[in-house]
Amino acid sequence: MAMSQSQSTAQTLVKEAPDVRSVSILGSTGSVGSNTVDLVKRSPERFSVEALSANRNVAALAEQALLLKPKLAVVADESAYQDLKAALSGSGIEVAAGTDAVLEAASRPSDWLMASIVGTAGLAPTLKAVERGAIVGLANKECLVSAGDVMIKEIERHGATLIPVDSEHSAIYQVFDFDDPSKVARIILTASGGPFREKSRDEMADMTPEQAVAHPNWDMGAKISIDSATMMNKGLELIEAYHLFPVPEEKIEILVHPQSVVHSMVDYVDGSVLAQLGAPDMRTPIAYALGWPARMETPVERLDLAEIGSLDFEAPDTDKFPALRLAREALIKGGNAPTSLNAANEIGVAAFLNGRIGFLDIISIVEKTLEKSQISDLGTIDDVLAADATARDIAAGLV
C-alpha cells in the first residue's frame, strides 16, 4: 500500500462548494440511492440533478426523475427502455438504456456523483467519474475491495475527490487526522454483529434468507443484509479502510457494538479515542458526503443517549464468523485475492438467496474459491475484471 493514500481523499482537495451543486446519482433506486434522492429533494435550492440511473426498476426511476427533473435518466436493462421512455414522455428528460448509457451518465459534468451501483457493475461507471475529476460519494464496495490499488492510482492521477459513504468509513473520515496519520494508533471499525450474533454455528446452519436479511438496526438491501449476517460486510470494510486511510493492515481492528450508535473510532497515540456517533440512519453519512465540505440539515432522528442508557462492545468471534479471518488473509495476500474474495461472496450470497445453498455454505464457497485461486498482480481495470470473472467461475462450480 502506498502511504500517499491520503492524497486520494477529499482532505487534501478541499474545495468550496458552489451555491448550487450539480449531482448525479448512479443506482438511484437502491437503498443508498433512494436516501440520496430523499436528501436532494429536501434542498432543491442547493442541488440540480444531472443524471439518474437504475438497473431495471423503471417505476421508481421514473418517479424520481419526475420529482428531481434530471437532464438524463438511464436504465441499465435495455429491455426496459421503452417503458422508461413512455413513463417520461413529454417531461423533457433525456432517456437512455444499456451499459454504455450508464457510462455516459457517469461522464456527464456533475460536480458530485453518488456511486451506489451494487457489485462489479459499478466499477467502470465510478472510474468514469474519477477520470473527470469529480467529487465521488462512494457507496460501492467493489471499487476498493476488488480494485483498490487501481482505483486509488486513478484518483490520484485525475485529482478526483473520494468521500466514503459507508457509515463506518464516514465516521473514521470525520475524525481522522490526515495531516499527521503517524499519530494514529488504531482504526476501530464497529460492527452490529448482524441478526445471528447470538446464534451458534449449528443454529446458523438452518437460517433462511428471510431470517438473514432481517437486520436488527439498519434498513438495507438483501445483499448487504446477508453480508451483515455472515459478517463479510465487516471484512470487506476492513479492506476498504486499508485503501481509504494511510494506516497498515495490523492497525485496523473490528469491534462488535450491537446498538450501532458508535459508527467507528480512531485511537491516537496519546490515548485519545475519537468516535462519531449517530442514530443508525444512512442519511447522515450520505448528507456528510453530499454537503461536503459543509454540513447540511437532515430529518434524521436526534441521538438520545439518556434514552439508550448503555452501549455494549465485545470482541468478534472469528471462529463463528470466519469471513473476518478470510478477508484479512486476502488483504495480506494482496493482488487479486480481495477481488476473488468479493466475487466468490457475491456468487455465494446469490445462491443462498435463491435457495440453492445453506447459510454456512456462503463462506465455505468463498474459502474454497480462495484456495483454488492463483495470486496475481492487478495493474488495470481489465485485470480486475478478469480476476473477478475467474473467481466467479470457480465459485459457481462450487455451488
Largest CA-CA distance found in the chain, in angstroms, rounded: 62
Which sequence spans correspond to the domains of the chain?
5-165, 169-279+303-318, 334-399
pLDDT at residue 155 tops 80:
yes
Q: Are 239 and 338 in contact (CB under 8 A)?
A: yes
Over residues 163-187, the mean pLDDT reads 97
pLDDT confidence band for 8 (50 / 70 / 90)? very low
Higher-scoring residue by pLDDT: 385, 16 = 385
Q: Phi and psi (nearest 5°) for 343?
A: -60, -45
Of residues 173 and 4, the one with the higher pLDDT is: 173
pLDDT of residue 214: 83
The DSSP letter of residue 271 is S
Q: Convert the pLDDT of each residue in 359-370 to its tens digit.
A: 999 999 999 999
pLDDT digits (tens, 9 = 90+) for 72-91: 999 999 999 999 999 999 99
Distance, in Å, from the CA atom of 194 to the CA atom of 60, rounded to the nearest integer, reads 28
Residue 332 vs residues 66, 218, 308, 372, 383: alpha-carbon distances, Å:
47, 30, 38, 17, 19
Instruction: State pLDDT tens for residues 115-144.
Output: 999 888 899 999 999 999 999 999 998 899
Encode pLDDT of 338-360 as tens digits: 999 999 999 999 999 999 999 99
Confidence of residue 16 (pLDDT cuts 50, 70, 90): low
Whether residue 281 is predicted with pLDDT greater than 80 in this model: the reply is yes
Specify the CATH number for 5-165; select among 3.40.50.2300, 3.40.50.720, 3.40.630.30, 3.20.20.80: 3.40.50.720
Q: Which helix (H) or strand (E) holds 324?
A: helix 323-333
CATH of 334-399, one of 3.20.20.70, 3.40.50.300, 2.30.30.50, 1.10.1740.10: 1.10.1740.10
For 86, counting Cβ atoms within 10 Å of its Cβ (0-12 exposed, 13-18 middle, 19+ buried), the class is: exposed
* Residue indicated by cell numbers 461522464: 107
Is 103 in contact with 128 (CB distance < 8 Å)?
Answer: yes
Cell numbers found for residue 9: 481523499
- Asked whether the predicted pLDDT for residue 176 surpasses 80, the reply is yes
> Residue 185 is placed in which grid cell?
494508533
Residue 120's pLDDT is 84
Q: Is the pLDDT of residue 180 over 80?
A: yes
Beta bridge partners of 96: 74
pLDDT band at 218 (very low <50, low <70, confident <90, very high): low
Encode burial over 280-297: b for 16+ CB neighbours within 10 A, e otherwise: bbbbbbbbbbbbbeeebe
Query: What does pTM read for this prediction?
Result: 0.91
Q: Is the peptide bond before 285 cis (omega within 30 degrees of 0)?
A: no
Quote the CA–CA distance of 147 and 272 in Å, as a whole number. 33
**Edge-to-edge strand ranges of the sheet holding 184-191:** 252-256, 184-191, 262-268, 273-277
Residue 12 has pLDDT above 80, yes or no: no
222 — pLDDT class (breaks 50, 70, 90): confident
